[in-house]
Chains A and B, each alone.
Chain A
Amino acid sequence: KAGVTQTPRYLIKTRGQQVTLSCSPISGHRSVSWYQQTPGQGLQFLFEYFSETQRNKGNFPGRFSGRQFSNSRSEMNVSTLELGDSALYLCASSLASGAYEQYFGPGTRLTVT
């Protein structure tokens, strides 16, 4: 089975722009979660989607949003980018929402200048 794929792998944007990141889960997995990793804050939960519905949300401003499509693929969007949004954005998929093991993708490295 193919693993979790994320595109693009690297991205450079300027402040004020918006960005969309994509995640394709493992085939058969219906839950997708997003995480942000920075050296200062570590790994932080952004949100979780299951069956096209947001199930959980972390403590991030409304500039961070996401969605899930009927094929379980997910996108996250960050609007009005700030320098502090520079981070590694990781997506993880699991069979369903709940205490299932999550499989992480390689991440998208976003740099905001």
Chain B
Amino acid sequence: DAKTTQPNSMESNEEEPVHLPCNHSTISGTDYIHWYRQLPSQGPEYVIHGLTSNVNNRMASLAIAEDRKSSTLILHRATLRDAAVYYCILIYSNTGKLIFGQGTTLQVKP
């Protein structure tokens, strides 16, 4: 299973953009990049995923480096509700197996 590396924690101010980085230098051509987050006392929640191109949805944007060895999850305007642990996960296209690392704990300050 390909590994990802994320900072342990990050801080942001409310209503400011947040860029959460993820390194995945051993990514293979068929690995998808998924992001999930887990709010306190809840199960993980799907955020966004991509393969090669940048992706946008109502929750966030995903910027993928040209060589695919890193990606960045972008929250355009952080709210207090975005305080959570964010996980960057690589998934082989043929399997639904999510391997969670320790993720990045995002703190949002009012």
Q: What B residues does A55 contact at CB under 8 A?
A: 95-96
As a 0/1 sequence over residues 81 to 113 of chain A, the CB contacts with chain B under 8 angstroms (1 = contact) are 000000000101010011111111111000000
Chain A residues packing against B (C-beta within 8 Å): 31, 33, 35, 42-45, 48, 50, 55-56, 58, 90, 92, 94, 97-107
**Does the CB pair A104–B92 fall under 8 Å?**
no
> For chain B residues 2-46, which have a beta carbon within 8 Å of chain A?
32, 34, 36, 38, 42-46
Query: Interface residues of B, CB < 8 Å — how many?
Result: 23
| A99 CB contact (under 8 Å) in B36, B49, B87 | B49
Among residues of B, the one whose C-beta sits closest to the C-beta of A107 is B43
- Cα distance A99–B43 when bound, in Å? 19
Decide: A90 and B96 in contact? CB cutoff 8 A: no
Rounded to whole angstroms, the CA-CA distance of A46 and B56 in the bound complex is: 30
Contact status B43-A56, CB under 8 Å: no
In the complex, the answer to whether A99 meets B96 with C-beta atoms within 8 Å is yes
Q: Bound state CA distance, A94 and B36, in angstroms? A: 14
14 A-B pairs within 8 Å (CB atoms) are namely A33-B96, A35-B98, A43-B38, A43-B87, A43-B98, A45-B97, A45-B100, A50-B96, A92-B44, A97-B95, A99-B49, A99-B91, A99-B96, A102-B46
Cβ B98 vs Cβ A102 within 8 A: yes
B-chain residues with CB within 8 Å of residue A35 when the two chains form the complex: 98, 100
Q: Looking at the complex, which one of A102, A104, A107 makes contact with B96 (CB distance below 8 Å)?
A: A102
* Interface core residue of B36, B98, B101, B102 (most chain A CB under 10 Å): B98
Contact, CB under 8 Å: A98 / B93: yes
Residue pair B95, A104 in contact (C-beta under 8 Å): no
A48 and B44: CB pair below 8 A?
A: no
Which residues of chain B come closer than 8 Å to A45, judged between CB atoms? 97-100
Q: Which residues of A contact B43 (CB under 8 A)?
A: 90, 92, 104-107
